[in-house]
Amino acid sequence: MATATTNDAQLAKLRELIKEIDFCMLTTLTADGSLHSRPMSTNGQIEPNGDLWFFTYANTPKIVEVDRVEQVNVSFSEPSQQRYVSLAGTAQLVRDRAKMQDLWKPELKAWFPQALDEPEIALLKVTVETAEYWDAPAGWVAKTVGFVKAVTTGEKANGGENEKLNLK
């Protein structure tokens, strides 16, 4: 069983991997049971415990979907750095003005022209329950060296670091 220190180190690694990836894909479940994914931005924000916050309009299909089924998946990808993260948890609409002020960044005006005065502006909080990440050596040289080493030694190529975290 992992110790609290190990979990803290894994959570710190998870936060480090995510903070540099601006856009992710948020996946919800539609009324007919289909998966529905759309790009979202955390604006580099991830809570110390792994929770995520997204600015949204309260009257969007994703909110209807999470009101019906709160289970969601959030996936991050940075292929040029060989970083991949998948988070699963529950989502809920939050209308906390103080939290919105705390998380607000000027670049959000591209989606919310009236800033925090935008009608129906809200937050979608994802309480992360489980996470998995893959972090492999990036760059052509690192990949080539790993591939050549695997071919010449007959051993499987090192795919990098892969961890699963339970954050409940």
| Encoded amino acid at 82, one letter | Q
pLDDT of 163: 85
HSE, side-chain direction, 13 A CA sphere, residue 7: 13
**Is 63 in contact with 56 (CB distance < 8 Å)?**
yes
pLDDT band with cut points at 50, 70 and 90 for residue 1: very low
**Domain around 114:** 4-166
| β-sheet bridge partners, residue 111 | none
Rounded to whole angstroms, the Cα distance separating 105 from 162 reads 32
pTM passes above 0.85: no
Q: What is the CATH number of the domain that holds 39?
A: 2.30.110.10
Mean of the per-residue pLDDT values for the chain? 87
pLDDT in tens, 94-108: 999 999 999 999 999
**Is 30 in contact with 48 (CB distance < 8 Å)?**
no
pLDDT in tens, 106-116: 999 999 999 99
When divided into structural domains, the chain yields a total of: 1
Rounded to whole angstroms, the Cα distance separating 29 from 62 reads 9
